[in-house]
Amino acid sequence: MPIILVLNGPNLNALGRRDPALYGSVTLAEIERRLRERAADLRVDLQFCQSNHEGALIDFLQANAAQAGGVIVNAGALTHYGLSLRDALADARLPIVEVHLSNIHARDEWRQKSVIASLAVGQVSGLGWRGYLYALDFLAHHQPAPK
Ligand code: DQA
């Protein structure tokens, strides 16, 4: 079964209590549960990593990318300036879907730039927690040919 990596960056562990008007009231644990449920239907495996530390996200990618078939990433604020994470995502050479709960293009000017977007197959921004499910659905149907 293909493995999809699901990366969440800084502060996403606080979902549920973090500005619900912007990010919704669903916790990250609940999003992960909903993803697991959908993954079972789609016959893909998931590996989750949330960290508030850029290096931990990079360590996780380096350890797991070779066995994986895609990446769903919500890098939090690292989206806008996390060049080391960007390099690690590029090195992974996997299809990437970038997810944001809020619409980053309708927010502060500095949030409208993503250093990850040009690596990604696409971006889901502003559709709340369901964005993760849409990303999973896409990646489950767009797996790279076996190496
Ligand atoms: C976010 C948007 C980022 O600008 C912000 O720093 C986050 C969450 C989102 O999911 O909407 O932490 O990635």
Tell me, what's the pLDDT at 125?
Answer: 98
* Cα 21 to Cα 49: distance, rounded to the nearest angstrom: 25
Ligand 1 geometric centre to CA of 147 (Å):
34
Q: What is the pTM of this model?
A: 0.97
Residue with tokens 């000017």, as numbered in its chain:
109
Q: What are φ and ψ of residue 48, in 5° steps?
A: -105, 145
Reply yes or no on whether 23 is catalytic: yes
Per-residue tokens: 38: 């959908």
List, for residues 14-36, the tens digit of each pLDDT value.
Answer: 999 999 999 999 999 999 999 99
Residue tagged active-site, from 80, 100, 105, 132: 100
Q: Is the pLDDT of residue 146 over 80?
A: no
Q: What is the mean pLDDT of the chain?
A: 97
Is the shortest distance between the CB of 123 and ligand 1 below 6 Å? no
* Cα 110 to Cα 107: distance, rounded to the nearest angstrom: 8
Query: Residue 138 — very low, low, confident or very high, per pLDDT cuts 50/70/90?
Result: very high
Is the shortest distance between the CB of 29 and ligand 1 below 6 Å? no
At CA 115, angle to CA 3 and CA 107, rounded to 5?
Answer: 105
Residues 85 and 117 sit within 8 Å (Cβ to Cβ): no
Tell me, what's the pLDDT at 76?
Answer: 98
Tell me, what's the pLDDT at 147?
Answer: 62
Give the residue-averaged pLDDT of 76-80: 98
Query: Residue 54 — very low, low, confident or very high, per pLDDT cuts 50/70/90?
Result: very high
Ligand 1 geometric centre to CA of 100 (Å):
6
* Closest approach atom of ligand 1 to CA 10: 12
Q: What are φ and ψ of residue 17, in 5° steps?
A: -110, -5
Helix (H, G, I), strand (E, B) or coil at 115: coil
* Cα 136 to Cα 72: distance, rounded to the nearest angstrom: 7
Give the residue-averaged pLDDT of 126-133: 98
Ligand 1 geometric centre to CA of 92 (Å):
22
List, for residues 81-116, the tens digit of each pLDDT value.
Answer: 999 999 999 999 999 999 999 999 999 999 999 999
Nearest residue (by CA) to ligand 1, atom 13, is: 76
Domains in the chain (CATH in brackets) are 3-141 (3.40.50.9100)
